[in-house]
Structure 1
């Protein structure tokens, strides 16, 4: 039986049936909003994305989503300190369209990155994380520079395993550790320089969603088309999409590009 948005909505509502939560279905946007009744804080789920994962992985995809939702709702009702948790602070990449404040009007701490992306900061809580807001920063008398240095230092401590695929004489390095910070690895300058040193052609980088970083060694024109297709596919399937535009990496700088089919991209 084919899974539809309405069926997925019903499954999630049954799994999340609790007197503390309320759900709201947006038929036009094909989303399901789950909120805490007492605070109206919550999460919004894009149902087509979940259906895609369900078709690939079955009930396991729903189990993981429900765990993520419950954990997210749990942490929204608690306060956290940064001091004493310095080792658990990491940078996270988001699109420039990502909200800069919470539903409760708390302003999030962020830093500009590229024309397509911004850097936010997360306090890792194990199964989930809490984005750092200005109140949390002010409570510790920290500056943006301080938290950025702490988060960047912690990022460099993460393992950087990758899978290498060669397609039409182009090499593609996939970082997908599934630790919540795969896309964040685009901020690890030493990692980018290391991979650049392995490349024979032009280096392009993509962060289509939170859980993947793609570094491409483009050695012919076909490589650009392949990268564009891969990036768009990941972008549409990701739980937290970032950008469908890849970047050219040159002289330690990232430049967003739009790839025209069968042509070398123009900036």
Structure 2
């Protein structure tokens, strides 16, 4: 039976039913919003995206989404502190279109990164994490410089295991630990410099969604076409998409690139 937005809406409303939640549907945007009645904090779901994942993965896609939303809602309704939790603070990469404040009006702590990305900060809570807002920072007596230093230090402590695929003489390195910080590894300058030193061609980097970092050693024109297709595919499938544009890494700088079919990209 074909899945429709109406059916998916009904399934999710039933699975996420809670007397403390308000669930609304936006017909124009074809989206659902689940909120805490008390704080108005919540999660917005784009139904077409969920239907696409359901068509590919079946009931497992719905189970995964429900678990993710339930955990996110639980975290929103609790208070947390930074002091004593320094080892659990990490940077996370988001698209520049990602909201800089919550629905409840809390201003998130962030810094600019590239024309396509921003860096936010998260308090790791095990199964998930909470983005850190300015009020939380001020209450704990922290400033953003300290936050950035602590998060960057913790990022460098993460393992950098990868899977290597060589396609048409181009090397593609996939970092996908599924720890919530795969894309964040783009901020590990030591890692990028090591990859650059060992590259034979142009070193390119992609963060199509939160749960993958792709580093590619591009050695011919075909490699750019493969990278473009790969990045777009991952971008479309990711739970938290970031950007479909890869970057070229030169002189410790990341520059977004537009890849034209059969051609090396223009910066």
Question: Number of residue pairs matched?
Answer: 267
Paired position in structure 2 for 1:203: 203
- What is the rounded CA distance, in whole Å, between the counterparts of 1:92 and 1:179 in structure 2? 11
Paired position in structure 2 for 1:239: 239
Gaps of 5+ in 1: none
Comparing 108-117 with 17-26, which one deviates more in the overlay?
A: 17-26
TM-superposed CA distance for 1:61, in Å, is 2.1
Kindly provide the CA deviation profile for residues 38-76 of structure 1, in whole angstroms up to 9, marking residues without a partner as x. Answer: 222110112232223323332222222111111111111
- What is the rounded CA distance, in whole Å, between the counterparts of 1:29 and 1:244 in structure 2? 22
Paired position in structure 2 for 1:71: 71
TM-superposed CA distance for 1:93, in Å, is 0.3
Comparing 102-111 with 56-65, which one deviates more in the overlay?
A: 56-65
Paired position in structure 2 for 1:161: 161
Gaps of 5+ in 2: none
Partner of 2:90, secondary structure, is strand
> 1:217 aligned to 2:202?
no
- What is the rounded CA distance, in whole Å, between the counterparts of 2:58 and 2:125 in structure 1? 27
TM-score under structure 1 length normalisation:
0.96
- What is the rounded CA distance, in whole Å, between the counterparts of 2:48 and 2:189 in structure 1? 35
Paired position in structure 1 for 2:265: 265
Paired position in structure 1 for 2:81: 81
CA-atom RMSD in angstroms: 1.2
Kindly provide the CA deviation profile for residues 193-242 of structure 1, in whole angstroms up to 9, marking residues without a partner as x. Answer: 22223321101100011111011111111111111111111111111111
- What is the rounded CA distance, in whole Å, between the counterparts of 1:31 and 1:199 in structure 2? 43
Preserved CA contact (<8 Å) 1:91 1:152: yes
TM-score under structure 2 length normalisation:
0.96
Preserved CA contact (<8 Å) 1:49 1:238: no
TM-superposed CA distance for 1:113, in Å, is 0.6
